Amino acid sequence: MSRKSLILSLALGLILGLFLGSSYQGSALNELNQQIADLRKENQDLTLWLRGNITFYEEKVGSLEDEINLLRSRLESLQTQANTTVLGIYFSPRGGCESQVIGWIGRANRSIHILIYSFTLDSISDALIEAHNRGVEVKVVFEKNQITKYSEYQKLRAAGISVRNDTNSGYMHDKVMIIDGVIVLTGSFNWSAHAEKVNNENLIIIKSIYVAEVYEEEFHRIWSSSI
């Protein structure tokens, strides 16, 4: 081979090598760009998935927190209800019901709220007047059909005590006294000589903020509709 032919052959080989190398590099670059594009797409998909799951679990956590707060509230309510003490149970005739009513009136410091069907005992009205005179708030709702000449209604009213008569078309048959929003006296015992000395009656005395609140709500409901 002549020198000229050898140089030409080498030149052609070099050109072919450069062409093939450039083509290979271009293919590799295209493949790399495609991989980058695929990774970006996977990253976008993963980001959307994570955001969706984060929102889901945030809502789940919020829901669980609401359930926990509800359960905590119920637990506190149950604990309040459980904190109830029965201070005494009494029966008539001559079982001490009258003296217990008078005794608890004497212990009142702030308020005495009463719903009473029959109230004719002077001893109890005297105790209420004494409590009123020492600054205790006394409010009494009478059953209107029981406001007779024997009732303590007029005596209490004349002493400046807030008294009302029930407007229920039926009987207001409650026998309830709430002391200072804590003590509840209730049962079948009417405040009458017959209930104290003749009838079979019962009286229970309960110390409970929860029970007192329930009775106070009923008292105010009846009081607000009475005249």
- Residues noted as catalytic: 173, 175, 180
Q: If you ran DSSP here, which 8-state letter would residue 151 be given?
A: S
Neighbouring residues of 118: CB distance < 8 A, sequence distance ≥ 6: 143, 146, 190, 191, 192, 195
Q: How far apart are the first and last CA of the chain?
A: 136
Strands 111-116 and 175-179: antiparallel
Q: Is 205 helix (H, G, I), strand (E, B) or coil?
A: strand
Locate tokens 């926990």: which residue?
68
Question: How many Å apart are CA 132 and CA 159, to the nearest integer?
Answer: 9
CB 141 within 8 A of CB 166: yes
Residue 204, φ and ψ in degrees, nearest 5: -120, 140
Question: How many Å apart are CA 181 and CA 206, to the nearest integer?
Answer: 11
Largest CA distance in the chain: 153
Q: How many CA atoms are closer than 13 Å to the CA of 205, on its beta-carbon side?
A: 17
